[in-house]
Amino acid sequence: MSRVEEINKVVRALQMSSAEIEACALISEDSLMIASALPQHIDEAAVSGITATLHSLGTRAAAELERGSMDQVLVHGEGGYVIMCNAAEGTLLMVMTNSDAKLGLVFLDMKRAVQHIQKII
């Protein structure tokens, strides 16, 4: 199995790990989609660009506000959450959940996925 196939498998497994997780993707810091489990109506290019931009802003905010290095960016809207975190070197893991998501469990699932991704990359 190639690395791309392994990464896709991890991303799909994360998306299927909970009914609360609606979508997820692994994106490079320069906004290239590496792997995704997104609904068809969501534009991958938009997701990758927005994720990279929010990561950049989160990193800058954490530094400017003296909070140390950025670990996560969390956006909460009426329809749910978008959570981004650093994965392997130069990559970001993005997860979209519904509004009923239990964030502690989502964070745990994301941490496990990141560990798998780091082993692959």
pLDDT tens sequence across 67-101: 999 999 999 999 999 999 999 889 999 999 999 99
Instruction: Count CB neighbours of 5 within 10 A.
Output: 11
What pLDDT score does 121 carry? 85
Tell me the whole-structure pTM to 2 decimals.
Answer: 0.91
CATH of the domain at 113: 3.30.450.30
- The count of domains in the chain is 1
Residue 1 has pLDDT above 90, yes or no: no
User: Which residues form the domain of 29?
Assistant: 3-120
